[in-house]
Amino acid sequence: MEAERLPLSFISYDEKDEVVIVSVLGRDSGDPVLEHMVQDPWKILFDPPSPGAVRTIDVEGADGAHTLVTLHGRELPGAET
């Protein structure tokens, strides 16, 4: 696991290089702290498959490795977790 419960910055696909990029932000700084790349993605699944309700994104690379991105509700400052 590279990151857990960090704010998502973006997920993008670079068509030229055939790579999916998942970028997360730091908890306090708001600056990007990690960019995870999936080379030659073979399959991208959304669960559930409805755009307004997506909670999990599963990116499968050509090598069979899975990158899972789980979306959580936004945490408000001072909220108990």
Write out pLDDT tens, residues 42-51: 999 998 877 6
Q: Measure CA 10 to chain center.
A: 7
Q: How far lies 70's CA from each of 16, 17, 30, 38, in Å? A: 26, 25, 19, 16
Q: Are 38 and 23 in contact (CB under 8 A)?
A: no
Structure tokens at 20: 């999916």
pTM to 2 decimal places: 0.77
DSSP annotation of 73: P
* Ranges under pLDDT 50 in the chain: none
pLDDT of residue 54: 77
